[in-house]
């Protein structure tokens, strides 16, 4: 029975039931963590050959990988990801272990030095960014850190709310937007070809409007169906806005999260722009790690085969999350959640005004959740209802206990709120 169909007496007995369940949870002395979307040890083990297999040759593509230089990254590695990301290889740079740092640097370069279209540095005027939410908290942290004003817009099932996007890009201070196009963090949404085409062709008042197309989960399917990302660079080029999109990706959740390789794709002009600035910052990327990755992965098919093995580890965890949410919350009308076909997260929306309470209750019972509101700019969820579940890291047994505990906290907070009304 849904909570809103219960009488006061029934609500009171539900509250007592959940208080009892919560007291038992507290006595269990748990220490569980479903905060961040990190790969588990079992997933990292899939790439242990990166640590142990010797490099077949120190010369790759005619370059001594041990030495300085080679700012664009090794072609042998770039060609593998060019195929997967559907980007011409000469428009794709390979770099070090974190695509997030390439996103950060791109914005710093634009702020300090302007862009190919606009020599005037962004910092010389107001800079605003559209932030589809729920979204990735670290994108928002970059904006906050760099003084870029964030405008929250809704992330829908096929991409950002285009009505809001159209309205805001009429402001020349709106210089760009974040977007995780495939299996977005945290909702699992996939940007449709139609939305991508509209974004590419959009009339933006800023001549150098940028889409930060963070394709972190491009190959992270949780089913046998491979979802292809929209060809944003092609769409931007054919719409007469070739420089609009910067594409980011990495092997953080393919090989080793702390020691993978990252990629930046863009128009020839954007690639030259990025390289001109990054050449001041570094004498070249870690090509030894790039060579190790090219050798270990072998081909685009090699990457997809490895992802199929990740899937074997991840699917039982995502199924467990779905099962517990349905069994424990399904009948009560106190939450909705996503069933993503890929990526790393399940997005849980609880009763409005109770997400912070749920996170607090969970914390006091030894279950660490991502702070309520984390998936929104400035950490502010206007409805205080959003919770991001990251099932990948804990072993299945710990995840099961954490989810059971979370369900108790969701029900307890919902019953408290219903009785307080």
**At its nearest, how many Å lie between ligand PLP and the CB of residue 380?**
20
Q: In the complex with ligand PLP, which residue's Cβ is closer, 116 or 186?
A: 186
Choice between 209 and 217, CB closer to ligand PLP? 217
The nearer residue to ligand PLP, 98 or 173, going by C-beta atoms, is 98
DSSP secondary structure, 386-410, as one string:
EEEE--SSS-HHHHHHHHHHHHHHH
Q: How far apart are CA 364 and CA 131, in angstroms?
A: 31
Residue that the structure tokens 């099962």 belong to:
323
3-class DSSP state of 35: coil
Nearer to ligand PLP, 37 or 371 (CB): 37
Outline where DSSP puts E strands in 303-359: 335-337, 346-350
Smallest distance from the beta carbon of 337 to ligand PLP, in angstroms? 18
CB of 119 to ligand PLP, least distance (A): 29
Q: Which long-range contacts (CB under 8 A, 24 or more apart) does 116-123 make?
A: 116/208, 116/243, 116/269, 116/270, 116/272, 116/273, 117/207, 117/208, 117/243, 118/207, 118/208, 122/175
212 within 8 A of 180, measured Cβ to Cβ: no
Residue numbers at the binding site for ligand PLP (CB under 6 A): 37, 98-100, 136, 180, 185, 214, 216, 250, 252, 262
Report the C-alpha gap between 104 and 116 in whole angstroms: 18
| DSSP-derived secondary structure for 73-84 | --HHHHHHHHHH
Say whether the peptide bond before residue 186 is cis (omega within 30 degrees of 0): yes
Quote the strand ranges of 193-284, DSSP E.
210-214, 245-250, 262-265
Q: What share of the chain is helix, strand, coil (3-state, %, to 5)?
A: 45, 15, 40
User: What is the C-alpha to C-alpha distance for residues 309 and 297, in angstroms, rounded to an integer?
Assistant: 13
Report the b/e string of 85-100 with b at 16+ CB within 10 A.
Answer: bbbeeebbbbbbbbbb
Least spacing, CB of residue 99 vs ligand PLP, in Å: 3
Nearest to 249 by CA among 100, 129, 91: 100
Residue 180 or 351 having the CB closest to ligand PLP = 180
Instruction: Specify the residue, 72 or 184, whose C-beta has the smaller distance to ligand PLP.
Output: 184
Nearer to ligand PLP, 136 or 337 (CB): 136
Looking at beta carbons only, is 136 or 274 nearer to ligand PLP?
136
Which of these, 293, 287, 296, lies nearest to 66 by C-alpha position? 287
Q: How far is the CB of 365 from ligand PLP (least distance, A)?
A: 25
Shortest gap between Cβ of 252 and ligand PLP (angstroms)? Answer: 3
Output 3 or 222, the one with its CB closest to ligand PLP.
222
């Amino acid at each position: 029975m849904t909570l809103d169909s219960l009488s006061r007496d029934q609500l009171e007995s539900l509250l007592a039931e959940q208080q009892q369940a919560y007291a038992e949870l507290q006595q269990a002395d748990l220490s569980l963590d479903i905060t961040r979307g990190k790969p588990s040890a079992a997933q990292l083990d899939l790439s242990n050959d990166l640590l142990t297999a010797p490099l077949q040759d120190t010369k790759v593509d005619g370059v001594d990988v041990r030495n300085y230089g080679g700012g664009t990254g090794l072609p042998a590695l770039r060609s593998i990801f060019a195929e997967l990301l559907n980007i011409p290889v000469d428009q794709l740079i390979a770099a070090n272990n974190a695509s997030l740092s390439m996103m950060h640097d791109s914005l710093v370069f634009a702020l300090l030095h302007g862009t190919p279209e606009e020599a005037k540095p962004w910092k010389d005027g107001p800079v605003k960014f559209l932030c589809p939410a729920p979204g990735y908290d670290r994108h928002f942290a970059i904006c906050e850190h760099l003084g870029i004003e964030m405008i929250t817009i809704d992330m829908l099932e096929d991409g950002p709310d285009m009505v809001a996007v159209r309205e805001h890009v009429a402001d020349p201070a709106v210089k760009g937007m974040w977007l995780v196009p495939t299996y977005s963090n945290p909702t699992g949404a996939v940007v449709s070809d139609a939305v991508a085409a509209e974004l590419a062709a959009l009339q933006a008042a800023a001549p150098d409007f940028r889409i930060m197309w963070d394709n972190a989960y491009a190959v992270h399917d949780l089913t046998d169906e491979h979802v292809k990302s929209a060809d944003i660079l092609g769409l931007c080029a054919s719409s007469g806005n070739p420089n609009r999109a910067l594409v980011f990706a990495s092997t953080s959740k393919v090989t080793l999260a702390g020691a993978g390789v990252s990629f930046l794709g863009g128009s020839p002009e954007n690639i030259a722009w990025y390289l001109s600035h990054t050449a001041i910052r570094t004498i070249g990327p870690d090509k030894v790690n790039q060579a190790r990755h090219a050798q270990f992965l072998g081909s685009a098919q090699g990457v997809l085969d490895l992802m199929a093995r990740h899937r074997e580890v991840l699917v039982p965890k995502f199924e467990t999350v779905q099962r517990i949410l349905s069994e424990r919350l399904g009948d009560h009308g106190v939450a909705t959640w996503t069933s993503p076909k890929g990526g790393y997260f399940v997005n849980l929306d609880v009763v409005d005004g109770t997400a912070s309470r749920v996170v607090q209750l969970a914390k006091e019972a030894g279950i660490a959740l991502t702070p309520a509101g984390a998936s929104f700019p400035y950490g502010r969820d206007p409805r205080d209802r959003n919770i991001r579940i990251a099932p990948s890291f804990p072993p299945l047994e710990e995840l099961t206990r954490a989810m059971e505990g979370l369900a108790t906290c969701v029900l307890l907070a919902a019953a408290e709120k219903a009785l307080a009304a």
